[in-house]
Amino acid sequence: MLSTSMFDYVLPPELIAQHPAERRDGSRMLVLDRITGECEIHPFGDIREYLSDGDALVYNDTKVLRGRMYARKNGLEEGAKFEILLVEALDPERLRWNVMIKPGKRALPGICAVLLNDDGSINGYGDAFEVEKRNGDGTFQIRFSTADFDRFQRSYGHIPLPPYIARKDETADAERYQTVFAANEGAVAAPTAGLHFTSEILRELREKGVQESAVTLHVGPGTFKPVSVENVEEHKMHSEEFFLTSETADLINNTHKAGKKVLAVGTTTVRVLESCVSADGTVHPQHGKTDIFLYPPRRPLAEDMLLTNFHLPKSTLLMLVSCFCEREKVLAAYEYAIANKMRFYSYGDCMLLK
C-alpha cells in the first residue's frame, strides 16, 4: 500500500510566502537532478541554461477569475454575511454558477443575497444572487441578477488567494497572481509555476530556438483538497476542465521525434498532457474534464522536465512530482530547500526537475 504519510514533511510556517518576490523573475529555483538526486539553487533566470534549440516549453494559459465575492442576505445590515467562491459557470452567459458558500448552513434554496462593495457596504444597484439549490458535492447553484458578469467581477470580485496566504487580496495581486501568458478565464487558483516567467525571459528563449505552446486547465478549488485517507489509492480526485489543441500536441510529438526535450510548466500542465498521452508517448488533442490522479510508481510519458513550485505535505501535487523522481529524492530536495530558507507555495520559489 502506498501511504499518504510517506509524502509528509515539516515546514516552518515562516517559509510560507505571503507576498510575491519583488520581481516576477526574482525567485530562486532549486534544480534537482532526477538521476543523482543532487540539488543546486539558482536564480530563476537561469532557466534559460536548461533549455536548448529545438526544446519545447508547454504552459497552462488559464486565467484566474476575480472569483471571491461577499454578500448580505436580503441586503440588510443585520442580514447574514456570505462569502462565495465561483467554481464553474453553468451557461454561456455566466448567469448561473456552481459556487462554494460560507457559511453553507445558512445558504438555503430561495435565499437572495446582495453583493457587497470592497469596503463591505451594500451596493446601491440591487446586484445580487439567489441560491437555487445545494449540490451533492457540497457546492451550491446560484443565479446572478444579471448576466453582466464582467461588471460583477470588476465591481465585487476579489482575487481568491489560497487559504495559506493569511491576508486579504491587495491591488498588486490582480497582476501578480496571473501569469504573463494568462488568456482563457476560468480558474479559481493560479498555475503558480508560470508566475515566475516574464515576457523578456520568454522572448530570450524564443531567440534561443526554444518553441512554446499552451494547454488550458481551469484550476478548481479541489487543488487544495487534502488527502484524508491513509491509502493513497482510496483518495477521490477532483475534476477539472482542460483543452489541448492539435498545435500543442503536434509540437510535443515533433519535439520528441527530433530527440529534444519537453519542459512542462507546472503540475496542471502535466495533468493535461498525461490525460491525453497514449502508452507509446504520443499526445492527442482533446477537450474534456480530467480527474487523473498521478502518483508513484507511474512515470511521465509526455514530459522530460518539470518546473513546479513547492507543494503542501501529503498533497496530490507532491505525489505527482514524485512521479518524475523517486519520492526519497524529492523529499530530500524539500529538506534542502527548507535548510536554505527557500519560500514555499503559491508565491514562493520554484523547483526544476531535470
Q: Could you read off the pLDDT of 19-73 as tens digits, one per residue? A: 999 999 999 999 999 999 999 999 999 999 999 999 999 999 999 999 999 999 9
Q: Is residue 182 part of a domain?
A: yes
Domain boundary among 123, 156, 189: 156
Please state the rounded mean pLDDT for residues 233-257.
Answer: 96
Question: What pLDDT does residue 57 have?
Answer: 98
Task: Give the residue among 254, 250, 248, 253 at the shortest CA–CA distance from 269.
Answer: 248
Percent of the chain with pLDDT over 70: 99
Q: Global pTM?
A: 0.92
Please state the rounded mean pLDDT for residues 302-318.
Answer: 97
Residues 267 and 286 in one domain: yes
Question: What pLDDT does residue 124 have?
Answer: 80
Question: What pLDDT does residue 222 have?
Answer: 80
Question: What pLDDT does residue 231 have?
Answer: 95
List, as own/partner pairs, every contact residues 194-197 make where C-beta atoms lie below 8 angstroms and the sequence separation is at least 24, other chains included. 194/59, 194/60, 194/265, 194/266, 195/20, 195/24, 195/346, 195/347, 196/24, 196/25, 196/27, 196/29, 196/44, 196/47, 196/350, 197/24, 197/25, 197/59, 197/265
Q: Is residue 85 part of a domain?
A: yes
Q: Compute the Cα dihedral for 112, 117, 122, 126 and give only its sign.
A: negative
Residues 275 and 132 in one domain: no
Question: What pLDDT does residue 65 have?
Answer: 95
Q: Is residue 134 part of a domain?
A: yes
Question: What pLDDT does residue 226 have?
Answer: 81
Domain boundary among 156, 186, 218: 156
Number of domains the chain is built from = 2
Residues 99 and 49 in one domain: no
Task: Look at 25-34, 216-225, 271-280, 342-351 and tell me which has the smallest mean pLDDT.
Answer: 216-225
Residues 74 and 55 in one domain: no
Please state the rounded mean pLDDT for residues 118-143.
Answer: 92
Percent of the chain with pLDDT over 90: 90
Q: Is residue 163 part of a domain?
A: no
Which of the four pLDDT bands, split at 50, 70 and 90, describes residue 320?
A: very high
Residue 24: CB atoms within 10 A of its CB come to 20
Angle subtended at Cα 159 by Cα 124 and Cα 114, rounded to the nearest 5 degrees: 25
Domain containing 75: what range?
Answer: 68-156
Residues 12 and 121 in one domain: no
Question: What pLDDT does residue 291 have?
Answer: 95
Question: What pLDDT does residue 137 have?
Answer: 86
pLDDT at 79 over 90: no
Radius of gyration of the chain (CA): 21
pLDDT at 78 over 80: no
Residues 312 and 223 in one domain: yes
Q: Higher model confidence: residue 78 or residue 11?
A: 11
The tens digit of pLDDT for each residue in 132-189 reads 999 988 899 999 998 899 999 999 999 999 999 999 999 999 999 999 999 999 999 9
Task: Look at 53-57, 116-120, 163-167, 291-295 and tell me which has the smallest mean pLDDT.
Answer: 116-120
Residues 189 and 135 in one domain: no
Does residue 237 contact residue 292 with C-beta atoms inside 8 Å?
yes
Chain-wide mean pLDDT for the chain? Answer: 95
Domain boundary among 109, 125, 156: 156
- Residue 132: which residues within 8 A CB-CB, separation 6 or more? 96, 109, 140, 141, 142, 143
pLDDT at 8 over 90: yes
Question: What pLDDT does residue 74 have?
Answer: 85
The tens digit of pLDDT for each residue in 326-340 reads 999 999 999 999 999
Please state the rounded mean pLDDT for residues 128-133.
Answer: 96
Residues 143 and 30 in one domain: no
Please state the rounded mean pLDDT for residues 287-296.
Answer: 96
Residues 218 and 321 in one domain: yes
- Region label for 33, one of left (φ > 0), alpha (ψ between -120 and 50) or beta (otherwise): beta
Q: For every residue of the chain, which 3-state class applies, written as one string?
A: CCEHHHHCCCCCHHHECCCCCCCHHHCEEEEECCCCCCEEEEEHHHHHHHCCCCCEEEEECEEECCCEEEEEECCCCCCCEEEEEEEEECCCCCCEEEEEEECHHHCCCCCEEEEECCCCCECCCCCEEEEEEECCCCCEEEEECCCCHHHHHHHHCECCCCCCCCCCCCCCHHHHCCCCCCCEEEECCCCHHHHHCCHHHHHHHHHCCCEEEEEEECCCHHHHCCCCCCEHHHCCCCCEEEEECHHHHHHHHHHHHCCCCEEEECHHHHHHHHHCECCCCCECCEEEEECCCCCCCCCCCCCCEEEEECCCCCCHHHHHHCCCCCHHHHHHHHHHHHHCCCCECCCCCEEEEC
Q: Is residue 340 part of a domain?
A: yes
